[in-house]
Amino acid sequence: VFPGVRQAQWLTKTKLVEGLPPAVQGIVDNPALGLQELEERAKHMVSHARLWDTAEVAPRREKYCPVLFENLIHICRLMSGKYPSLSKRMLARNCRIAATWERESILLQVRGLSGILMNSMTPIPPVASKEEIVATQEHVLETFYPIAPTIDLQEVNVYKELNDTGFRDGYPYSHPHTLFFLESANVRTDRFRPEQLRAKMLMFAFGNALAKAKELHGDDPKVLEQPIVVQSIGTDGQLFQFMVFQLNTTDLVSNDGIKNLVWIDSDQKLYERAQCVPEVKKRVVTKPAGISGFQPDTFKKFLALYLHGTV
Average pLDDT over residues 27-32: 92
Least confident of 70-84, 142-156, 196-210: 142-156
Measure the CA–CA gap between 101 and 219, rounded to whole angstroms. 9
Q: What percent of the chain has pLDDT over 70?
A: 88
Cβ atoms 179, 262 nearer than 8 A: no
Q: Where are the domains of the chain?
A: 3-21+90-295
- Residue 293 — very low, low, confident or very high, per pLDDT cuts 50/70/90? very high
- For residue 143, the model assigns a pLDDT of 75
Measure the CA–CA gap between 137 and 33, rounded to whole angstroms. 36
Cβ atoms 10, 254 nearer than 8 A: no
The amino acid at 305: L
Average pLDDT over residues 212-218: 90
Looking at the DSSP bridge assignments, the partners of residue 108 are 101
Average pLDDT over residues 4-21: 92
* Residue among 112, 8, 99, 38 nearest 304 (CA): 38
Average pLDDT over residues 1-19: 85
Cβ atoms 143, 10 nearer than 8 A: yes
Cβ atoms 91, 72 nearer than 8 A: no
Tell me: the pLDDT tens digits for 72-88? 999 999 999 999 989 88
- For residue 68, the model assigns a pLDDT of 95
- For residue 284, the model assigns a pLDDT of 87
Helix (H, G, I), strand (E, B) or coil at 155: coil
pTM of the model: 0.89
Tell me: the pLDDT tens digits for 155-167? 444 445 555 555 6
> Does 127 score more than 50 pLDDT?
yes
- Residue 221 — very low, low, confident or very high, per pLDDT cuts 50/70/90? confident
Average pLDDT over residues 64-68: 93
Which is it for strands 14-18 and 260-269: parallel, antiparallel or unpaired?
parallel
- For residue 1, the model assigns a pLDDT of 38
Cβ atoms 16, 264 nearer than 8 A: yes
- Dihedral sign from CA coordinates of 40, 41, 46, 47: positive
Least confident of 89-98, 150-159, 196-205: 150-159
Radius of gyration of the chain (CA): 20
- For residue 287, the model assigns a pLDDT of 82
- For residue 2, the model assigns a pLDDT of 44
Peptide bond into 146 cis (omega under 30): yes
- For residue 69, the model assigns a pLDDT of 96
Measure the CA–CA gap between 253 and 103, rounded to whole angstroms. 4
- For residue 59, the model assigns a pLDDT of 78
Q: What percent of the chain has pLDDT over 90?
A: 53
- Torsion angles phi and psi, residue 140, rounded to 5: -100, 125
